[in-house]
Structure 1
Amino acid sequence: MDFGGMSCNFKLMLFASFLATGLLATGCGGQRFQTPNIDSQYRKMLELQQQRSNFSKEERELEKRLPEGSPELYERLGDGYLGQGNQAMAFIEYSKALRVDPKRLSARQKIGYLLLKRDMYAEAFKEFDAVVTAQPKNAGALQGKATALLHMNRLDDARQVLSAAIEAEPALWQAHILSGIIHDRKKEFGPATEAYRKAISINPKSALAYNNLGISHYALGNYRQSAEALLTALNLDPSSKKTYNNLGLALFRMNMYEDSLEAFKKGGDEASAYNNVGVLYLKDGQHEKAIAAFEKAIELKPSYYVTAQSNLEKARAALKADKGPFPGSPCQLPAN
């Protein structure tokens, strides 16, 4: 989608068509870069577990013949619980399997996955590291280890492990997204866009990759490219308010102020939308417009008074002192 060369009216009409089809909705203060969902990183493993109910009669009979207390039985029970969404019981059964057979790497890898789900990153790292030590080319375990390292802010170590994961399985698109996030955190926005484009080339339906690509372009000041990527992300996943928020910011930087306001409205309500654009006007030193936006937010939603009133006072003080843009903004994109 190309905004270049369009007249202002045509761009507004185009944007209105997106609103009409329900592609936009946003809120302020969303997360900047989104990491791959843990479940999606282990989709192949989960698909096998979730197909438990479709096992053949012969396989079910084989399971019944597994000796009680065997690691195979415990792991299968864990798979069944995980397929049902019962992570606590799955963890217990996988742990039983490891107690019987500490070298059962498949159960250990699944425990690592569950620890990631619990945000227990140091513990997850230990489990994945044990798997990788025994199986250096296990791409799933390498990616799990890198995910844990990323959350532990060990970016250089995570990057090294991701390189090994991608070498072992080049089609691992989530690994390319994680690589892009590391580049972004290091403010290497150009290489970040390359990583996200690689992920998109493997999985063109990844709204996550398009969202992060849009934010990297935003950081580079490429607001048109940012909006294009974010609109594609929203077309793939219209429910992501974080992406809608990012789009609102990109449109504001394209001087499409009314469109930015409409995007913010779609993500929250009218009062919060006016507060959001007021913050952006304030940051740009457009104090009178900021004051008008904050006053509108207070008028529309008295319960929003505290936040909007605080911002209004800052805008009035800045206008009176004529000190230029206010340095802070609750709507700025977070660092990660």
Structure 2
Amino acid sequence: MIKQYKLLDIKALSRFGLVLLPLLMVACTAVPKEEPELIDNTPPTRQDLYDGSAMHTVTTGNPPKDEADALSRAKHEEQIGNLDQALYLYVQSLDFNANNAQTLYNIARINSIKGNIQLAYLTYNESLAIDPEMMMSHAGLGLINMDKRQHAQARFHLEKAVSLDQKRFNPAVENLGETFYSLDTDSPIRIYNALAILDDLENEHERARRLYRLALDREPHSALIITNLGYSYYLSGNFTLAERYLKQAIQEDPNFDRSWTNLGLVYVRKGLYARALSTLEHTMEPADALNDLGFFLMLEGQYEQAINLFQRAIDESPSYFEQAQKNLKRASLEYASQKAN
């Protein structure tokens, strides 16, 4: 009986072998399914550093692994013009290192470009709280102060930025003096130009021109800086040099409107009114040029000529030129008062 039992067992195996073998093979080779990786879409901690309502185009998937990854990706997005994505990544990087002054500067800079000036202002200050020697944060604050006509604060930050730049060439430099070291590719040319404008506004024309020339040594073909240098001479009454530099600026960039406008002002002060008018017409419609020239002459006390120009401006554009009508009324009253006296 025992032999018969074993025989039946072997037969059973042979009968079900074709079924059991594949099952055994599957059991040995099967790999358990991996759970899908969870993507952390949690917003960054510092959501106060960007305008959430303007970030609808931002991709929040695939978050950065660490600070270096976030910064690398932020720079790439900025280079290809995706400022919102770059800003979001810079803010994300603060979750890995909250005290990175350079990152805070970059966040402030992008907010400034996007027109979020108050956010930029606060973030520049936060950057300086971590690193008081952050040159470009001083520069950014100085430009904001300039736009707000806060000249004392602007001077503090612009001079600090220029001083820090000069200190790169000579660590002994503490305060700005009369002598400056030549600028290099890392020098913030825009800040030297801004400080020069501030000097011109405060009638420090010689100092302004030193800064303009310093900037021009680095960017000799800048129509903007050449125009500012010419206008500096205009402000101090040197119309010959003003005309020379403004013409040079126009040669560098004939489409830079401010060069033409300032050259028109020079011709007004030189009494060359026909030339002034034709110069202004390079940047505006004839009616606007007539109105603007009339306004300049009115400021010069040339009321009779101003009245004539305002009337011509109205004739050029009678239906909508309200400003010329107002100027004509003002000039007529001033002229009547002048004759009465």
Structure 2 length normalisation: TM-score?
A: 0.68
Match status 1:177 vs 2:193: yes
CA distance in 1, matches of 2:147, 2:327: 33
Indicate which of 217, 226, 249 corresponds to 1:210.
Answer: 226
**Contact kept in structure 2, 1:261 and 1:274, CA below 8 Å:** yes
Which residues in structure 2 correspond to 1:13-92 (within 5 Å)? Answer: 68-92=64-88
- Give the deviation of 1:150 after TM superposition: 4.1
8 Å contact kept, 1:277–1:293 = yes
Distance in 2, matches of 1:188 and 1:226, equals 16
Which AA in structure 2 matches 1:72? A
Provide the aligned length of Structure 1 versus Structure 2: 256
Q: How far 1:131 moved relative to its partner? A: 6.0
The Cα of 1:96 is off from its aligned counterpart by: 0.3
Q: Deviations over 1:16-38 (max 9, x none)?
A: xxxxxxxxxxxxxxxxxxxxxxx
1:261 equivalenced with 2:277 (yes/no): yes
Matches within 5 A, 1:1-336: 68-117=64-113, 118=115, 119-120=117-118, 121-130=120-129, 132-133=131-132, 136=133, 139-151=135-147, 153=150, 154-158=153-157, 159-168=159-168, 170-171=183-184, 172=187, 173-322=189-338
Q: Report if aligned partners of 2:87, 2:107 keep a CA contact under 8 Å in 1.
A: yes
Q: 1:103 to 1:250 in 2, by over 3 A?
A: same
CA RMSD of aligned residues (A): 2.5
State the secondary structure of the residue aligned to 2:319: helix
Shift of 1:165: 2.3
- Letter of the structure 2 residue corresponding to residue 258 of structure 1: A
Secondary structure of 2:230's aligned partner: helix
Superposed displacement of residue 112, structure 1: 2.6
Secondary structure at 2:297 match in 1:
helix
SS of 1:129's equivalent in the other structure is: helix
Give CA deviations for 1:21-68 in whole Å, capped at 9, x if unaligned.
xxxxxxxxxxxxxxxxxxxxxxxxxxxxxxxxxxxxxxxxxxxxx994
Q: Is the 8 A contact 1:200 1:209 kept in 2?
A: yes
Partners in 1 of 2:71 and 2:130 — Cα distance? 16
Partner of 2:65, secondary structure, is coil
CA contact (8 A) 1:112 1:127 kept: no
Q: Distance in 1 between matches of 2:76 and 2:303?
A: 59
Contact in 1 for aligned 2:250/2:259 (Cα 8 Å): yes
| C-alpha separation in 2, matches of 1:151 and 1:271 | 30
Between the aligned partners of 1:215 and 1:300, the Cα distance in structure 2 is 30
Percentage of identical aligned residues? 24
Report what 1:13 is aligned to.
none
CA contact under 8 A between 1:124 and 1:148: conserved in structure 2?
A: no
Name stretches of at least 5 consecutive residues in structure 1 with no aligned partner. Answer: 1-65, 325-336
Larger RCO (CA under 8 A, 6+ residues apart): 1
User: Is the radius of gyration larger for structure 1 or structure 2?
Assistant: 2
User: Does the CA contact (< 8 Å) of 1:200 and 1:210 recur in 2?
Assistant: yes
Counterpart CA distance in 2 for 1:247 and 1:127 is: 42
Task: Tell me, in whole angstroms, the C-alpha distance in 2 between the residues paired with 1:322 and 1:285.
Answer: 9
1:62-94 Cα distance to aligned partner (Å, 9 max, x none): xxxx99421122112212221222222211110
Cα distance in structure 2, aligned partners of 1:160 and 1:83: 28
Q: Distance in 1 between matches of 2:201 and 2:260?
A: 21
